[in-house]
Structure 1
């Protein structure tokens, strides 16, 4: 059970993964500092979910090394799983149960003391107190996703993977989830967020990594990425490049 040398929440070096003849990851390098939000951007099929599934011990890499919370993913899978939570595109909420019952159930499965108190604190943290006694089937999309994220936090994992958490949500619900993610990082949780929504990355991330053709082709703050392109001049006024401009330039246009 070795600690990663840099002490970050996530350290990935030279990670490779192929599915038969399809080379999905061709040597991925990525570092995520503790308590930060890093957005992993990429087109459909770029390998974002594959990378997350490897880090969550759901897939084995073909090569390279990966550490999560100081534990090597390949050798210390049980320790990694105790350190993380994974929330996907589709909520794992039981619609028959109330919001509070969903939380209590997970707290009991994780053998926590006072599961009711754990549930009540998470309902408060995610602004679901008034809805806590209602069955989840009555929840809006944003409420369901917030409940799903709350469920994933039971046991206080230091690292959480959010795999396209706002897919299929309307703009209002997306804003609700964004606020929940911000609160996670404010509380010290490390977040690796995969998304195709460039606005989501701009709004949430401390750093943005772009995955293209099996590699991280750029990794930096929003300002650092914008400096990769010169400002455009529109009627003699500089127009700063957007993240969309940077992304499309780097990946070679819409694919």
Structure 2
């Protein structure tokens, strides 16, 4: 996809796919092109070039077929505060042209998914910010969309509500929903997203799983051992998984590509050398370091 505003190239040939049941994180600093990209995918903004395909079929601003297959949950709440959660969902179900029987069943399913069944009769104006966010997600899910777009769904909510929202989003993968997720919280992306695209200045700078992105910038996992000796170092150096090793009195530090896969062998090698291991710490590089490396900015910049 491509989009320009005068001389400004806001989105420069951005391309990615999201499979059913997959959560794809689109991360980028402010002004990177995330909102423009999402608006084109949702059919809100006309593209200057490229295609958007929903279930293999072209989709654009005039595509009613495509828009029926997208659930779009914007940053700004789209709810009626004087209506209850159930009344809000009933109203939007009519907009989605669900028949009465289908709507009744789906509303109860959605209330369960977003954890609002017990408060379904209460006016939305009495809800906390997190509850409103969850209901907003529920509106986007009503019509069984194969693609759900969530634009910073946890912005401005308390930690407890935020966790409830993340649990609701995580449950969608089991329903086969493809989720496009943007956030300003790196830990959310690490927790939820199967794959991540890092966008900056309108370009996708890198794409992949957390492990793949970390590998792109050469980051390694670090295993730190507190021991009663260092005589295991020569044996550890012979292991093909070990990229670098350092040691001191009562301490061994091993650099590997995948600590989760190699930790058992590292510990077995140390123990076989007659070394007693007192403590073990595993440090995995996170997405924040990758993001800073690729964009030169923090996610919130």
TM > 0.5: yes
In 2 relative to 1, CA 102–253 (structure 1 residues): closer, same or farther, beyond 3 Å?
A: closer
Q: Deviations over 1:179-236 (max 9, x none)?
A: 1111112111110011221111101000011001211111101111122232276974
The answer (yes or no) to whether the contact 1:16–1:28 under 8 Å persists in 2 is yes
Q: Is 2:80 the counterpart of 1:94?
A: yes
Question: What corresponds to 1:62 in structure 2?
Answer: 48
- More deviation in 137-146 or 222-231? 222-231
Q: Is 2:160 the counterpart of 1:160?
A: no
Q: Is 2:216 the counterpart of 1:230?
A: no
Aligned length: 241
Tell me how far apart the structure 2 counterparts of residues 213 and 122 of structure 1 sit (CA, whole Å). Answer: 37
Q: Is 2:291 the counterpart of 1:247?
A: yes
Partner of residue 80 from structure 1, selected from 44, 66, 88: 66
Secondary structure (helix, strand or coil) at the match of 2:119 reads: coil
* RMSD of aligned Cα (Å): 1.8
Question: What corresponds to 1:6 in structure 2?
Answer: none
Q: Which is greater in Rg?
A: 2
Question: What corresponds to 2:138 in structure 1?
Answer: 150
In 2 relative to 1, CA 110–74 (structure 1 residues): closer, same or farther, beyond 3 Å?
A: closer
The answer (yes or no) to whether the contact 1:55–1:68 under 8 Å persists in 2 is no
**Structure 1 residues not aligned, in runs of 5+:** 1-14
Tell me how far apart the structure 1 counterparts of residues 180 and 12 of structure 2 sit (CA, whole Å). Answer: 20
Q: Is 2:167 the counterpart of 1:183?
A: no
Secondary structure (helix, strand or coil) at the match of 1:180 reads: helix
* TM-score between both structures, scaled by the size of structure 2: 0.75
Stretches of 4+ moved more than 4 A in 1? 232-236
Cα deviation, residue 41, structure 1: 0.3
Higher relative contact order (CA 8 A, sep 6+): 1
* TM-score between both structures, scaled by the size of structure 1: 0.88
In 2 relative to 1, CA 118–234 (structure 1 residues): closer, same or farther, beyond 3 Å?
A: closer
Tell me how far apart the structure 2 counterparts of residues 125 and 172 of structure 1 sit (CA, whole Å). Answer: 16
Q: Is 2:17 the counterpart of 1:31?
A: yes
- More deviation in 64-73 or 193-202? 64-73
The answer (yes or no) to whether the contact 1:49–1:194 under 8 Å persists in 2 is no
Tell me how far apart the structure 2 counterparts of residues 100 and 253 of structure 1 sit (CA, whole Å). Answer: 42
**Structure 2 residues not aligned, in runs of 5+:** 225-245, 247-252, 256-282
The answer (yes or no) to whether the contact 1:104–1:118 under 8 Å persists in 2 is no
